[in-house]
Amino acid sequence: KGKRDLAGKRVLISAGGTQEYLDPVRFIGNPSTGKMGLALAQAALHRGAMVTLVHGAANWDVPLGVQAIPIINAEEMQQVMLEYLPNADIIVMSAAVADVKPQDYSTEKLPKRSLPQSLPLEPVPDIVAQLGQLKQPHQRLIGFAAQTGDIVTPAREKLYSKKLDAIVANPIDKPDSGFGSENNQAVFLDSQGRQQKIAPCSKLQMAHYLFDFIRHISGK
Ligand code: C5P
């Protein structure tokens, strides 16, 4: 308690789900509420950091002292993350980015009768992979991997392919964890091969475990 190990550090966090609109009322999205990112912001603030929270749809109030930047879609999130990347010491990408967007956008609401039978999609930018390419050696980049079934193997693969320093493998098929829950459980992995299993706990507790975990990633 009272740990101020992030004093003077800038922590950049993405949180919540992105939404890719087809017209002014319909979108592709996911059930993320951003509570894990909110908990990360609270934990970082508590430990003395300057915190920027880039978030999609959220049903909570931003904590006093956190700089919050709301966004809707992946391209907006990408722009803000790239803008804040150079000054950040720790970047945590806990947002659930919708992986695809409709190819076309209609500025007018599409009448039901003219809704397409199928929807051509295109990929959105992989933001964390881009941050992994651009980051400086002193910066720490942490991703999340929401998975069903075996959570560790795909998370490890993402850790290396996206050039992350650490990843949180997060089961979304277990009771009382993942999307929208107050609690969470995970396996933390880092680029040096360390692995730590986190038993079910509050998202705030998990956020503190994560900041403890990444302290032990040695400098490059
Ligand atoms: O590949 P997957 O989406 O499972 O990877 C999860 C990690 O990648 C998360 O940290 C997520 O925020 C990030 N991500 C991203 N841009 C995307 C898709 C995922 O930054 N388009």
Q: Each residue of 77-108: pLDDT tens digit?
A: 999 999 999 999 999 999 999 999 999 999 99
Does 115 have pLDDT greater than 80?
yes
> What's the CA gap between 40 and 52, in Å, rounded?
11
Cα 68 to middle of ligand 1, angstroms: 20
Say what the pLDDT of residue 141 is.
98
Q: How does pLDDT run across 156-187, given as a tens digit for each residue? A: 999 999 999 999 999 988 887 778 788 999 99
Do 46 and 40 touch, CB atoms closer than 8 A? no
Per-residue confidence at 1, pLDDT binned at 50, 70, 90?
Answer: low
Q: Residue ranges per domain, the chain?
A: 10-100+122-215
The CATH number given to 10-100+122-215 is 3.40.50.10300
Say what the pLDDT of residue 87 is.
98
Does 20 have pLDDT greater than 90?
yes
Say what the pLDDT of residue 181 is.
85
What value does the mean pLDDT take over residues 55-68? 93
> What's the CA gap between 167 and 155, in Å, rounded?
7
| 97 Cβ inside 6 Å of ligand 1 | yes
| 144 Cβ inside 6 Å of ligand 1 | yes
Cα 145 to middle of ligand 1, angstroms: 7
Catalytic residues: 30
Average pLDDT, the chain: 94
Say what the pLDDT of residue 91 is.
98
Region of poorest pLDDT, from 56-60, 193-197, 215-219: 215-219
**Pocket mutation for ligand 1, best pick of 94, 99, 128 (most atoms within 8 Å of C-beta):** 128
**Is the ipTM value over 0.90, yes or no?**
yes
Do 58 and 33 touch, CB atoms closer than 8 A? yes
Say what the pLDDT of residue 156 is.
97
Which residues pair with residue 166 across a beta bridge?
A: 142, 190
